[in-house]
């Protein structure tokens, strides 16, 4: 009991000393702040305009970093700019929004178009491989070669989300890769002209938010053959040179143009005739010494 009674005054003295020290430290700190001996970081409410981030008015539709416009449709054109429209990327289960941009073109803007692939068998250059990647297989063109209604891909100088308006600058512009070939049967041969029933596939990906394209529909294409048109076929031994007389109604062909096929009438650079493959012999029926007659399945009627 005596030890406990001796400790109580000591504990009280220690507690009072601690409180006094805390009060003195607080007082000294307030004096230091008052006399600017200690400076605290202050928020810069007047930051320069160059560091200010301004969101694009359509930033909610641009939900990720965008430094290019894919499948942009040209709707207007001047001597140093294009007006394009794109379907903006939107959140799930929301409607897409068509945005229009004015694209500035400078002397440093690269403008190109893909070089169509023609797999000649005998003419030079000879290539039997798919087209090279667009960057490595491009032809330099100028603004004059771009037309209203065409679709292009545009690389931008800045992130589209942080542009204060819809005026943007292009680093590079490339026409989209368009098909320069079609396949199908010959429906008519007349002199140096053939007609083929087929369709042209599109290489271009659908625009952001765009409705998926419908299935292609067969059309009748009128194709002119010139002295520069290569006619060829192939078998197990390799390519074979063909003549105009080898083109028959019903023959299946692949036709290549030197330019993208945008019309139902064009000139052919290459016509490849698919070889006719004879059906394999039918083995004899059980118990019969002679082979069963070959049967063929009639082709399905064309879809309406």
What pLDDT band is residue 61 in, cutting at 50, 70 and 90? low
pLDDT at 205 over 70: no
Question: According to the model, what pLDDT value does residue 129 have?
Answer: 47
Tokens 């368009």 locate to 178
Token pair of 223, please? 């194709």
Q: Contact, 158 vs 67, CB < 8 A?
A: yes
> How many alpha carbons lie under 13 Å from residue 278 in its C-beta half-sphere?
4
Across 65-69, 178-182, 183-187, 287-291, the highest mean pLDDT is recorded for 183-187
For residues 272 and 186, what is the distance between their CA atoms, to the nearest angstrom? 12
Quote the radius of gyration of the chain (alpha carbons, Å): 37
Q: Which domains does the chain have, with CATH numbers?
A: 59-175 (no CATH), 181-203+217-274 (2.40.50)
Range with the poorest average pLDDT among 54-68, 138-152, 211-225, 231-245 = 54-68
pLDDT at 217: 80
Beta-ladder partners of 78 = none
User: Which tokens in the block code for residue 126?
Assistant: 């000879």
Using an 8 Å Cβ cutoff, are 51 and 172 in contact? no
β-pairing verdict for 270-273 and 230-235: parallel
pLDDT digits (tens, 9 = 90+) for 219-272: 999 999 999 999 999 988 999 999 999 999 999 999 999 988 989 999 999 999
3-state class of 85 per DSSP? strand
Provide the pLDDT for residue 127.
46
């Amino acid at each position: 009991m005596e030890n406990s009674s001796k400790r109580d005054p000591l504990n009280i003295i220690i507690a009072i000393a601690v409180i006094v020290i805390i009060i003195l430290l607080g007082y000294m700190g307030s004096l230091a702040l008052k006399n600017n001996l200690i400076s605290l970081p202050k928020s810069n409410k007047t930051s320069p305009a160059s560091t200010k981030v301004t969101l694009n008015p359509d930033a909610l539709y641009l939900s990720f970093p965008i430094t290019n416009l894919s499948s942009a449709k040209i709707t207007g054109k001047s001597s140093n700019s294009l007006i394009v429209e794109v379907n903006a990327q939107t959140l799930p289960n929301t409607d897409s929004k068509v945005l229009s941009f004015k694209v500035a073109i400078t002397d440093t803007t690269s403008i190109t178009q893909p070089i169509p692939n023609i797999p000649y068998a005998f003419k030079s250059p000879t290539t039997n491989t798919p087209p090279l990647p667009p960057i490595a297989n491009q032809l330099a063109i100028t603004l004059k070669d771009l037309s209203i209604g065409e679709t292009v891909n545009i690389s931008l100088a800045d992130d589209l989300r942080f542009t204060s308006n819809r005026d943007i600058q292009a680093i590079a512009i490339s026409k989209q890769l368009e098909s320069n070939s079609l396949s199908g049967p010959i429906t008519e041969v007349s002199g140096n002209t053939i007609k083929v029933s087929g369709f042209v596939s599109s290489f271009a990906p659908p625009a952001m938010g765009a409705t998926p394209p419908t299935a292609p529909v067969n059309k009748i294409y009128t194709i002119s053959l010139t002295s520069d048109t290569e006619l060829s076929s192939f078998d197990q031994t390799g390519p074979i040179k063909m003549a105009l007389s080898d083109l028959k109604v019903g023959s299946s062909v692949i036709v290549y143009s030197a330019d993208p096929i945008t019309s139902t009438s064009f000139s052919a650079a290459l016509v490849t005739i698919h070889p006719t493959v004879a059906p394999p012999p039918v083995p004899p029926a059980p118990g019969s010494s002679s082979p069963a007659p070959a049967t063929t399945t009639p082709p399905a009627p064309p879809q309406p």
